[in-house]
Chains A and B, each alone.
Chain A
Amino acid sequence: MPIHEDDEMMHAEEVYTNASWRKTILTLVLFLIVAALGLFAISIGASSLGMSESIRAIMAVFLPMDDVSHFAEVVVFQLRLPRILLAIITGVSLGVAGAVMQGVLRNPLVSPFTLGLSSGAACGAALAIVLGVGILGTGQYIIMINAFFFSLLTMVVVYAISRIRGASIETLILAGVAMGYLFSAVISLLQYASGNEQLREIVFWLMGGLYAAKIENVMILIPIVVILTMILMRYSWDLNAMGAGEEVASSLGINVKQVRMACLFLSTVLTASVIAFTGVIGFIGLVSPHICRLLIGSDHRYLIPWSGLTGALLLLASDTISRTMISPTEIPVGVVTSFLGVPFFLYLLVRRKRRWWQ
């Protein structure tokens, strides 16, 4: 009998190792798909610069090629590249933050949106627009900084409220939802009180978009997003344990409250920093963790990177459509994201029979 058990043990270990390997490879494949889509996205656009010429311009970086026009270089490297990188980095951070927040709060409806972070950021931006912005250009940073801090502030308040009530998950989510409503009310009030010009600018911010991507901003965001994602991935085991319930996690030696606080704050910083540059981009933070949970299960070691990559894929695809569909006019990216993501998500929901949310 014991020998038999041992055998089974061996077998299980083998199955586990195989599954892990498969998932690791799949993660790599997904990464390659994102890279391929990025390459595709960089080669299409509103100008007449075709795919072959764009690819030559990219190849010219690695190989000596002298027949690449200056125009191609400018379009590919100064206009398309920053935007594509911003789409990827934004998608990654929203996806990762969504997966972590859903994991840590064990609730399928949680996203930066439901926790009031987006409303907080939007409220900060609206305040800057109505009360503080002078002219074109220079006022831009006031809006970003305001958006960032209001987003953080929201999380601080939400967390503080939940601490008063013993830090239960429900209180935290409800406090987030309530704060979201409060900020929406402030935004409505500001919209109500503002003039035409400002109103338009607030609406603009609420729609979000990547068209104003600048390479400097992307360079600020890349280290933030990469480092925070790596730190958050280190919490994967804790999140997995917490998925089985707080008591289980505690009995396994996890300081549940501390992990929860750390994860929430790190993912808030993650979303707040990208939202500050792009405006409110909804839906991705909510849906890409779900899509991934349906596809590869809820092991956070894979779920977090997958969710990030899926977010990147979704946002990059949407943005590419938004800038090429009726070019040169652009369609707001949020519109495309929902049109693209919702049917796909619903399809997965209907097709998968098993209960996917544990």
Chain B
Amino acid sequence: MNKNTFIILMLASLLALSFTASGEAETVQVVDASGEHIDVPLNPERIVVLPSTPIEMIYALGEGKRVVGRGVGVPPQCPSAKDLPCVASCSVGPNVEAILDLKPDLVLMCTSNGSKPATAVERLHAAGIPVLSLPSSCEPDTLLPQIETLGKILNKSVEANEFADFIEKYLGLIEERTKDLGPDEKPTVYFECKEYKTVNEETPLQHHISLAGGTNIAAEQPVKKPIVSSEWVLETNPDIIIAGAKGESLTEETLSAARDEIVSRPGLKEVKAVKDKKVYIISKKLMKGISEPIGCLYFAKWLHPDLFKDIDPTAIHKEFLQKFFGQELEGSYAYP
């Protein structure tokens, strides 16, 4: 009897020990979007990543294979991410059941927009899945901290630093050269997302324009992405017009067609930017996520060609893709 009890006790404690051993995975402390320190598993094997920017970062760190599920956006640099199961949609947010089905060790999401992700976070927590909320991918200032965080989690700090350095180098370079410009030296910029739809100072594009040493004519409008009056644009007479072009694979023809449409618009024909031939088209892919710094380089070059004579954004973009994504530059991203 005694012996039996002893054996049972032994077995039970062994079992308990093995449970604690397997349950206590290594964790690492990182800072989430709201600035709180939280513990997330170190080296997670299966990660569901809803925003597209962190997917790009994970790919750039060479750990793309760990991503097992994605959100709606497929980052252009990671074509293979397209085949991953999509477990969220723009209008209804993350699908918790589909996420659980993928048995992730970690879920990365972006909680800044709306209540739907917040509900999903609660449910995932209840199911015991660690969730790390990242800042909205549209904020340029958060790119570098995000890379650092991901480097920590994936145990790839060296690569993360290398990547961050690359980005920092060029953003720093732009800032260095434009920071001392006086208000008179800053050209006025009209940015267009869509016919007469522009951006105010609360959008990331404001950052691009002011970093590149320009003044956004619509900075003070009350709506984030307002439609503005054509006659107002005409009267404000911007020095430079930059328009975003969307589309999967843009060619020089499509970009140049978009430019032709703008320069021939009745209300814009007379504007200084059109007369001086300073109308530029940029792919929207260069205005969000990890490629943002490349977009900023184009902006800087267009706004201050004299200051950035030695900079060739296309060449840098090419280097960026080869170095971190092992890809060649295909199609057109900016025109002319």
Contacts and interface: CB of A to CB of B under 8 A. Distances in A.
Interface of A: 45-49, 70-71, 74-75, 78-80, 134-138, 191-197, 199, 201, 204, 209, 211-212, 214-215, 323, 326-330
B241 to A, nearest CB: 13
Contacts of A195: 72-73, 90
Given A135-B254, A137-B258, A193 B245 contact: no
Contacts of A212: 195-196
Nearest to B255: A135
Contact of B90 (A45, A70, A199, A326): A199
A48 B235 contact: yes
A149 B218 CA distance: 37
B261 interface: yes
Interface of B: 72-73, 89-92, 194-196, 218, 221-223, 226-235, 243, 245-247, 250, 254-255, 257-258, 261, 266-267, 269-270, 284
Given A136-B243, A195-B72, A75 B234 contact: yes
Contacts of A45: 229, 231-232
A196 B73 contact: yes
A329 B245 contact: no
Contacts of B223: 329
Nearest to B266: A78
Given A137-B261, A329-B226, A71 B234 contact: yes
Given A71-B234, A75-B234, A215 B266 contact: yes
Given A48-B235, A199-B91, A74 B267 contact: yes
Contact of A328 (B229, B255, B266): B229
Interface centre among A75, A135, A195 (most CB of B within 10 A): A135
A327 B246 CA distance: 27
A255 to B, nearest CB: 46
B170 to A, nearest CB: 26
B91 A191 contact: yes
Contacts of A49: 231, 235
Contacts of A215: 266
Contact of B246 (A46, A80, A197, A330): A197
Nearest to A327: B229
Contacts of A48: 235
B72 A197 contact: no
Contact of B231 (A46, A70, A136, A194): A46
B222 A329 contact: yes
Contacts of A138: 254, 257-258, 261
Contacts of A199: 90-91
